Amino acid sequence: MLFNNLARGRRRRLWVALSFFILAAASSAQAQTPTSAEAYLRRGLARQSRGNVSGALADFNRALELKPALAPAYYYRGNLLYGRGDYRAAIGDYDRLVELDPRNPAAFYNRGVARFALGDWAGAAGDMTGAVSLDARHARAFYVRGVAEHMLGQIDAAVADFDRAVELDPRYAEAYNNRGAARQDKGDLEGAVADFGKAIALDPSYAEAYANRGAALLLQGRKAEAQRDFDRSAKLNRGMRGMVRESVRGVKRPRPRDE
């Protein structure tokens, strides 16, 4: 899912280093009754790594009862809640994390992803702006903001953000696919076909990009090429057949790739 790719740069290294430190101490914590908030957090991470989600949640809750200002506990509990589909509760934890650690781009990014999951495009775009203001090389934040802007009908802004995402990460297939969708909405079919082709070159198993390119080719009147792309898309992912049928009936707006 989206939030698994955390913010880059110094802040990301600090959080990753903290994660390694916590997990390194977790095995010994498993055999003991925790006596501090940090110990509950360590045990919660150990439990989560073993698939014990309810146990991990209980430990994160206890850690925050003992130390309400323990920022990493809000971060990890928010991620756990997001993974369970409890997006509103996750946002509550990320809100608190932003209050406690306002210079952490991951706090804004993860909250934005949760808002995106709820269909709050404006809120998601705002949080991604917060993330890139703290980490100007956060390619995924530019990408998510671009998708949110596209959903809001802000096509030029979306294209600009996808431009920045692929500039930072030239192998970002999803960003090319979504830039192609935005270009198609602007009427730039040639640019859309090129972007979908780039996404396919980077990820030959990208069924959605084949379907999207097929739709753009169909609009150009290139029916045989479009049909080949539709066939390839359906072969890669049977679930794409419905999208292909819609594209054949009329051209639908390409959708972002699920993560």
Mean predicted lDDT score pLDDT of the chain: 87
Tell me: pLDDT of 240 over 90.
Answer: no
Domains and CATH numbers, the chain: 1-136 (1.25.40.10), 138-259 (1.25.40.10)
| Cα 15 from chain centre | 18
Whole-structure pTM value: 0.82
Task: Please give the pLDDT value at position 243.
Answer: 65
179-194: pLDDT as tens digits: 999 999 999 999 999 9
Tell me: pLDDT of 108 over 60.
Answer: yes
**Distance, CA of 238 to CA of 19 (rounded, Å):** 39
Tell me the H-state helices in the chain.
10-30, 37-49, 53-66, 71-83, 87-100, 105-117, 121-134, 139-151, 155-168, 173-185, 189-202, 207-219, 223-236, 241-249
